[in-house]
Structure formats: structure tokens, C-alpha cells
């Protein structure tokens, strides 16, 4: 049995290092290129922060109600009915996680290798080289070794990595504010050109904002990681909601300040075309030597984030295996260190395979679109079903102004999905369709719902 050994501080640290990976250092350029101005780029990051806060209200209610390993898997299983529709929706979540979890790890590792190219400024590379792929696989292997231990030790490692991440981003912000023009940048954000709101109301502007919000949400992802570790968190009814809100607000403030720091040193056109935005900012402000140091610290942040990501994802197949919804071997715990080692090794192996064969490309956006229906929207609807069935009095933690946040979360995820490219939307639709077919075949073979005889439930 998993042990409740993670404190609120450790759980928050795990959330925050999950959120701050290579994401913001890569997606800053994507957002700037899409929006084309400083004030709209910063506004996009603010929109991402608001979406994360609203969606966290759904995660908080469900996480406090069902503080168990697996997060969304448990939420869907309980809210839709453990023996009926809950089997279907939780299976779909496990199905998409089989693809998205190693993709997330692989994209982070490839991003690490890509950003490391800053040390070789003369190298012109359009895609991952053999050396970059080897570096990505090596990162995954090192993280697997770090995670191959009991959760109490993992919690302590997470605090150290969290301190490193926060200190690094703070240093980057100070550098940009000290050697750039932060007052002018802040002024352009606070007092944007006349008519920008009317431009935003135009259809094309909303489309651009939606497109740019996808990579910002990728950078905010991870605020819910504590829910995957629900069985290992102390006082989960209080710690899970608090850790999420502290994580989102803390990281959101750092992201907004980092954007101002970057635009204080580099013009928006340079930011939009730079493959190493923050490193180029440090190079411009402090010189190549200190930029190399800053880049090294950024890579430390990337490793810290992947550490947290892999930790959370290993608990999902573990929880499903214990319920008989996945291969039994994934439910095995290490005999002395008490962690799901089979789940960890399989995740690491698939991530290494993807890192050896895929490119970063559009994987960031595809990862999100594949989750919209089977995770974010499904559990928001499930929460409303649960509230209607059991009443608000039985919820250990309750969101303000219910059901407004839940309905807003559903609407915003639909907007983000509609903003993705057709091929990414197709992946988000086709994957659940195939998963549904697999679920029906397995249910037929096992004689489980929906193929039970009447009266068997």
C-alpha cells in the first residue's frame, strides 16, 4: 500500500517543478510569433493563468473527495459509476494516457536536448540529430534512476529541485529587469494601443488568441499533478486544493514577470524567431559567458519538471491495475522501496522510444487536444453529476459560485480545442473512438458491462 508521506510543501514543490519545465522557454517564441505584439503576448499568458485557476476548482473538488492514486482515473470511475459508465470513461483516460504520458516525457526530453544546442551556437539544425536524441534518452534514464526509490525520498529531492527552479527563474527575471527597459515594457502592457479591445472582439483575433493559448496551457500543465499522488499526500482534503492554487498563482506570477523581462531586452520580432529566447536575452544583457550559465540552469529546470511529470504518471496505470482495469503487473510495488516500479520502467521505456523516433513539432498541441474530451471536459461533467447525486454537503472542499467555474472550464476547453489545427483535432477525436472500440471488445471478452445480463449489476 502507498503511504501518505508527502507534506503540503512537498506536494506544492512537485506541482511547481512539473509546471516549470522547458515549456515556457520554448513557447514564449511561439506565443510572440502568433500574437505579434508585447501586450497581446503577455495577455495570452494571463489568459492561460485564468483558465488554469478555473479548471483547478474542478480538480480541487474531485481531488479532495477522492484522494487516491491515479487522479482523473479515480474521478471518472467514481462520478460516472464504478460498474457502468465509469468503467468506460476511466478506460478511455487510461487509453489516452498510454500515448500522451510518454509523449509528454519525450517532448520534454527532446526540448532539453534542443535547448542545449545554445552551447553550440554555430550549429544549424532543423530537427533532432543523433546526438540530440541520445541526450534526450540519457535524460530519461537518469530521471528513472532518481525516481527508483520510496516516495519520502522523492519528496525531499523534489524540494531541492523546486528551490533550484524558483531561484533560476528569479535570476532570469532580475537580469531582464536590470539590463532592459522594464518600465517601458510594463507601460506597453498596462496601457496598450487604443482599439486593442475592439481588435480582440474581431473573429480573427479570437482565433489567434486561441491558437496562442494552447502553448501557454502546455506551460501551465502540471498544476493537478498532486491529484495523481492523492494516496501519498498528508491531509489530502486540505493539501490538494491548496497546493494547486499556490502552484498556479506562484508560477503564473513568475511567467508574467519572465515575459516582461524578456521583452524588456529583446524586441518582439527577435523573440518570435529565437529558438533560445531566454538564453538570447541573457546573451544580450550579460554576455555569452553568463548566458551559458543561465542556459545550464534552464536545463536543470527542465530535468526537475520531467522528474515530477514521470512521478505523477506512474501512479495512473498503477491505480488502474489494482482495479483490474489494466495489466496486473503495473500494480506491483517494489518489495523494499514501496513504489510502482513496473509502471515507472514501462513509462521510461516508451518515452525513450518516442524520443528516438519522433520530433517535437506539433506534439505540444496534440498532447492537449487528446486530453480535452477524455480528461478535462469528462471530469468537469462528472463533477456536476456527482454534485447532483450526493449533494454539496458531502464534498470535503467546494468551489465558489458553483456551477459557474465548472461550466466555464468546459467552455474554455472547447474553445482551445476549436483553435487547434485540424490534424490535432482529429487526433483528439480518433483516439477516443479507437479506445471505445477496444473497450467494447475487451468488455465482450470478459463479460463485463455493457455486456452483462439484466440484473447482474
Q: What CA–CA distance (Å, rounded) separates 238 from 256? A: 27
Confidence of residue 362 (pLDDT cuts 50, 70, 90): low
Q: What CA–CA distance (Å, rounded) separates 136 from 299? A: 12
Closest by CA position to 58, among listed 412, 314, 431: 412
Coil, strand, or helix at residue 226?
A: helix
Q: What CA–CA distance (Å, rounded) separates 108 from 219? A: 11
pLDDT on residue 195: 61
pLDDT on residue 366: 78
Closest by CA position to 62, among listed 320, 405, 404, 399: 399
CB neighbours of 276 closer than 8 A, spacing ≥ 6? 25, 115, 117, 118, 295
pLDDT per position as a tens digit, 295-308: 998 898 888 888 88
Residue 389 to residues 56, 58, 85, 386: CA-CA distances in angstroms? 22, 16, 15, 5
Q: How confident is the model over 6-21, as a mean pLDDT?
A: 88
CB neighbours of 368 closer than 8 A, spacing ≥ 6? 214, 217, 218, 221, 416, 420
Q: What CA–CA distance (Å, rounded) separates 61 from 387? A: 10
Asked whether residue 41 carries a pLDDT value surpassing 90, the answer given is yes
Structure-model confidence comparison of residues 288 and 150, the more confident one: 288
- Centre a 10 Å sphere on the Cβ of residue 257 and count the other Cβ atoms it contains: 18
What DSSP designation does 334 have? Answer: P
Asked whether residue 127 carries a pLDDT value surpassing 60, the answer given is no
Q: How confident is the model over 116-124, as a mean pLDDT?
A: 70
From first CA to last CA, the distance across the chain in angstroms is 28
The number of helices, as runs of H, and strands, as runs of E, in the chain is 20, 0
pTM of this prediction?
Answer: 0.88
Closest by CA position to 205, among listed 37, 55, 366, 23: 37
pLDDT on residue 199: 61
Confidence of residue 374 (pLDDT cuts 50, 70, 90): very high
CB neighbours of 399 closer than 8 A, spacing ≥ 6? 57, 58, 60, 61, 405, 406
pLDDT on residue 361: 62
pLDDT per position as a tens digit, 420-439: 888 889 988 998 999 999 99
pLDDT on residue 201: 62
- Domains belonging to the chain, first-starting first, are 8-446 (1.20.1740.10)
pLDDT per position as a tens digit, 321-345: 888 888 889 999 988 888 899 999 9
Closest by CA position to 275, among listed 121, 106, 108, 109: 121
% of the chain beyond a pLDDT of 90: 51
What DSSP designation does 63 have? Answer: H
Confidence of residue 454 (pLDDT cuts 50, 70, 90): low
14-23, 27-36, 402-411, 447-456 — which is least confidently predicted?
A: 447-456
Helix H, strand E, coil C: the string for 111-170 is HHHHHHHHHCCCCCCCCCCHHHHHHHHHHHHHHHHHHCCCHHHHHHHHHHHHHHHHHHHH
How open is the CA angle 166-168-174, to the nearest 5 degrees? 100
Q: How confident is the model over 112-122, as a mean pLDDT?
A: 80
Confidence of residue 200 (pLDDT cuts 50, 70, 90): low
Q: How confident is the model over 274-279, as a mean pLDDT?
A: 89
Helix axis angle, 72-79 relative to 38-65, nearest 10°? Answer: 60
Q: What CA–CA distance (Å, rounded) separates 216 from 46? A: 9
Q: What CA–CA distance (Å, rounded) separates 112 from 234? A: 33
Structure-model confidence comparison of residues 257 and 166, the more confident one: 257
Closest by CA position to 348, among listed 158, 153, 147: 147
- Centre a 10 Å sphere on the Cβ of residue 396 and count the other Cβ atoms it contains: 16
Amino acid at each position: 500500500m502507498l503511504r501518505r508521506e508527502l507534506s503540503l510543501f512537498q506536494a506544492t514543490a512537485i506541482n511547481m517543478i512539473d509546471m516549470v519545465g522547458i515549456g515556457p522557454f520554448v513557447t514564449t517564441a511561439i506565443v510572440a510569433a502568433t500574437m505579434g505584439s508585447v501586450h497581446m503576448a503577455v495577455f495570452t499568458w494571463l489568459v492561460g493563468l485564468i483558465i488554469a485557476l478555473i479548471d483547478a476548482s474542478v480538480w480541487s473538488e474531485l481531488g479532495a473527495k477522492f484522494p487516491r492514486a491515479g487522479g482523473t482515473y479515480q474521478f471518472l470511475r467514481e462520478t460516472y459509476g464504478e460498474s457502468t459508465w465509469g468503467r468506460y470513461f476511466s478506460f478511455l483516460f487510461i487509453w489516452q494516457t498510454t500515448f500522451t504520458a510518454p509523449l509528454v516525457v519525450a517532448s520534454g526530453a527532446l526540448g532539453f536536448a534542443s535547448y542545449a544546442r545554445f552551447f553550440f551556437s554555430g550549429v544549424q539544425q532543423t530537427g533532432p540529430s543523433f546526438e540530440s536524441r541520445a541526450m534526450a534518452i540519457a535524460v530519461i534514464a537518469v530521471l528513472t534512476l532518481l525516481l527508483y526509490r520510496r516516495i519520502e525520498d522523492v519528496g525531499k529531492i523534489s524540494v531541492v529541485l523546486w528551490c533550484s527552479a524558483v531561484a533560476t527563474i528569479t535570476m532570469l527575471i532580475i537580469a531582464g529587469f536590470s539590463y532592459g527597459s522594464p518600465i517601458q515594457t510594463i507601460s506597453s502592457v498596462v496601457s496598450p494601443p487604443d482599439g486593442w479591445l475592439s481588435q480582440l472582439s474581431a473573429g480573427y483575433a479570437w482565433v489567434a488568441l486561441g491558437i496562442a493559448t494552447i502553448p501557454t496551457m502546455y506551460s501551465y500543465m502540471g498544476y493537478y499533478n498532486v491529484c495523481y499522488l492523492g494516496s501519498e499526500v498528508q491531509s489530502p482534503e486540505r493539501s490538494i486544493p491548496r497546493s494547486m492554487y499556490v502552484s498556479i498563482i506562484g508560477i503564473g506570477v513568475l511567467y508574467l514577470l519572465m515575459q516582461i523581462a524578456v521583452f524588456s531586452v529583446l524586441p518582439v520580432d527577435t523573440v518570435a524567431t529565437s529558438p533560445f529566447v531566454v538564453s538570447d536575452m541573457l546573451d544580450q544583457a550579460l554576455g555569452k559567458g553568463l548566458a551559458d550559465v543561465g542556459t545550464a540552469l534552464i536545463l536543470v529546470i527542465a530535468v526537475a519538471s520531467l522528474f515530477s511529470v514521470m512521478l505523477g504518471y506512474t501512479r495512473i496505470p498503477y491505480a488502474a491495475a489494482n482495479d483490474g482495469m489494466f495489466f496486473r503487473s503495473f500494480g506491483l510495488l517494489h518489495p523494499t522501496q514501496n513504489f510502482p516500479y513496473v509502471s515507472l520502467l514501462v513509462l521510461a521505456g516508451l518515452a525513450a522510444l518516442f524520443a528516438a523516433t519522433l520530433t517535437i513539432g506539433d506534439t505540444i498541441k496534440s498532447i492537449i487536444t487528446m486530453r480535452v474530451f477524455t480528461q478535462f471536459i469528462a471530469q468537469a461533467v462528472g463533477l456536476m453529476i456527482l454534485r447532483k447525486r450526493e449533494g454539496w454537503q458531502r464534498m470535503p472542499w467546494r468551489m465558489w459560485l458553483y456551477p459557474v467555474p465548472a461550466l466555464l472550464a468546459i467552455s474554455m476547453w472547447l474553445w482551445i480545442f476549436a483553435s487547434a489545427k485540424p490534424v490535432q483535432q482529429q487526433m483528439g477525436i480518433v483516439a477516443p473512438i479507437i479506445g471505445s472500440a477496444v473497450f467494447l471488445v475487451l468488455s465482450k471478452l470478459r463479460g463485463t458491462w455493457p455486456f452483462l445480463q439484466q440484473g447482474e449489476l
